[in-house]
Structure 1
Amino acid sequence: MRPIYCKKKTIYVPAGMTNNEPPKTAPPCTGWQEDLPSPFDAPTLEPGLAPHTPNFQDDIYLEICRSAMAYRGIVSILALIFLISILVDLPWVIRHTNPTDIESVLQEIIMLSLSAWCTVVLFRADLSAPRDLPIRFNRARNKIYAYNFKHQWWNPFDKGKVVPVSYDWFQVRAERWSQTGALPNGGLIFKWGVTLSIVAPGTNNVIDRFPLVTMGANEHAWAYICTYMQEGPSALSPPGEPKDHNDALWCEFALRLAPKVNWPSEMDLESRTAP
């Protein structure tokens, strides 16, 4: 059940149900469930970023963290195990493949090629993205700055690239989404989150779109950001200690191998200062 907080009472709505209102953005995000309050509407939910804490927060700007994927490092370990199993089996495959049997040779080449492709794609997915994908919300300038990363997951030769963007706060729209996928064993996997859609001024036409907090952000995170932008940090609970998104523990090998966050110098200065 998903709680909706109103002024008079709290109503519980089953997860996945919407308020029956059509999407406001054109086009809506994939798996659209509902539009969240606009940047200038009063939040209807209790603000919160749990389990995350802000990277930084003061009277000028708020920075929140995003991760390219949950539990980075696990995918690399699985890819390494997969690679070792291929290398162990390779001598046996070579010895038991008849070189005069063209069909068998082609099958083995295709299987080895697919295995190599899967291994590289898994390593790329875990190691290519920066250590953090922060978003900054600048109250003094009424702007949003997002450190986005784009890549073609299926292309083993694509290292991806960082695409920092900046938009006015009034262009931002938040959409809640959810999706259901099938697992190989017949089970189901559920994904959900909040996407930020950027609309052209004076319209609801989407010109850019990126996740608010990757892997499971909810409406409370959007309420936290709107409260900060509308009322300032004094309206929120005191945040934890600021943290450097480039810091990684010795055991977090995937993060240590991933590129560090490096904002363009002009955007970095602008996003952290008042006009």
Structure 2
Amino acid sequence: MKKMTQPLPRRAPGWKYDLNKPNEKPQPSSPTARLRTPPNHFCDTYLELPRSTIRLRGVGIFGGIVCICAISATALMIIYTALTPSFELEVKYTLLSLFFIALMYWTVIPTIRMDIEFPRDEPIRFNRLRRKVYFYQYHFDRFHLFSRQRWGVRPVVYDWDDLVAEACSVYAPMGNGGLIENVVISVIKPGTEEVIDRLFFTHDIEQGKQYWALAQLFMQQGPQALPEFVHPPRDWNDDSQLSPIHCIAPKVRWPEEIDFESRSAPCSY
């Protein structure tokens, strides 16, 4: 299980309410059979739900490149002006300008890298026989922009009974009014209220409720409790089913040991 240096806040930022606990009756929601993005797979052993931290692919790449070009042009102009004898540019102004330019680079470069390196799908597998949940989790670190060790996929595994789904709503300076709603999954240390990890689940509260209800039905009753989905599942590793910008993203490659464990029943001796 993933270890944190210190516990996280009990409530996620913008917390509104908790969804029903793992072993409680699922909350009623809109028909899950008509989900536009149905589960990737389900069988007697496990249910796999799709997930994507990045909502719009390509925005970070193209927007980031435009920002990098603009920042670079500004930096070159400031350097040229500082080195031109006909202009008197104070050292403090030059250093302050270059500091803000470096800060912009620090902000934009991780955004571009995330858009390129985040997997095309970050699935979650619910194994009802092991009562474990497997997250295909991508880790990144903005303070180490070019690190290989701090960036990459490192799946994490938690007990189903230790999970809490939280509906959140926050406001941010955006063109659509600034309202951002999502659902996150918190991992609670057994017997306490201490949150040891928090993972993104969905960008939309209603979709989060539907996916969480599917997970509850599957873990409590098995695959026979799931509806017959109208839309077929998508193979995220099949380039023919994705847009060109999605094909840039890495394919889903579970580590062999985790892949086998998440799709199998526990051994009985």
TM-score (norm 2): 0.78
* Equivalent residue runs for 1:127-166 within 5 Å: 127-153=116-142, 155-158=144-147, 160-166=151-157
> Offset at 1:63?
0.5
Match of 1:19 in 2: none
Query: 3-state DSSP class of the match of 2:235?
Result: coil
Residue in structure 1 matched with residue 221 of structure 2 by the alignment: 231
State whether structure 2 residue 169 is matched by structure 1 residue 178: yes
Distance 2:248 2:255 in 1: 21
Give the CA RMSD over aligned residues: 2.9
Change (3 A) 1:229 1:113: same
Paired position in structure 2 for 1:36:
19
CA contact (8 A) 1:125 1:153 kept: no
Q: Secondary structure at the match of 1:53?
A: coil
Classify 1:107/1:34 alpha carbon distance in 2 versus 1 (closer, same or farther; 3 Å).
closer
Alignment correspondent of 1:80: 65
Q: Secondary structure at the match of 2:155?
A: strand
Please state which structure has a larger fraction of its residues in helix: 2
Amino acid at match of 2:212: W
Q: Distance in 2 between matches of 1:271 and 1:138?
A: 6
In structure 2, relative to structure 1, the CA distance for the partners of 1:113 and 1:209 (3 Å cut) is closer
Relative to 1, partners in 2 of residues 1:221 and 1:125: Cα closer, same or farther, differing over 3 Å? same
Tell me the alpha carbon deviations over residues 99-146 of structure 1, each in whole angstroms, 9 at most, x when there is no partner.
463345434533442343343122123123222211001122222111
Q: Is the CA contact 1:121–1:154 (under 8 Å) kept in the aligned structure 2?
A: no
Q: Which one has more relative contact order, counting CA pairs under 8 Å at least 6 apart? A: 2
Equivalent residue for 1:114? 103
Question: Which segments of 5 or more consecutive residues in structure 2 lack a partner in the other structure?
Answer: 1-7
Q: Identify the residue that residue 3 of structure 1 maps to in structure 2.
A: none
For residues 222-257 of structure 1, the C-alpha deviation after alignment (integer angstroms, 9 at most, x for no partner) is 11211122222222222344433233457533x333
Partner Cα separation in structure 2 for residue 119 and residue 205 of structure 1: 34
Matches within 5 A, 1:61-80: 61-80=46-65
- Are the aligned partners of 2:170 and 2:181 in contact in 1 as well (CA < 8 Å)? yes
Task: Report the more deviating stretch, 26-35 or 143-152.
Answer: 26-35
Query: SS at the partner of 1:220?
Result: helix
Matches of 2:100 and 2:192, distance apart in 1: 50
- Displacement of 1:272: 0.8
Return the letter of the residue paired with 1:245.
Answer: W
Q: 1:220 aligns with which of 195, 210, 215?
A: 210
Q: Aligned pair count?
A: 248
**Structure 1 residues 246 and 38, CA gap change in structure 2 (3 angstroms):** same
What is the rounded CA distance, in whole Å, between the counterparts of 1:82 and 1:125 in structure 2?
15
Deviation (angstroms), 1:265: 1.1
Cα drift, residue 180 of structure 1: 1.5
Q: Does 1:54 align with 2:36?
A: no
When the two structures are superposed, what TM-score results if normalisation uses the length of structure 1? 0.77
Do structure 1's residue 195 and structure 2's residue 178 form an aligned pair? no
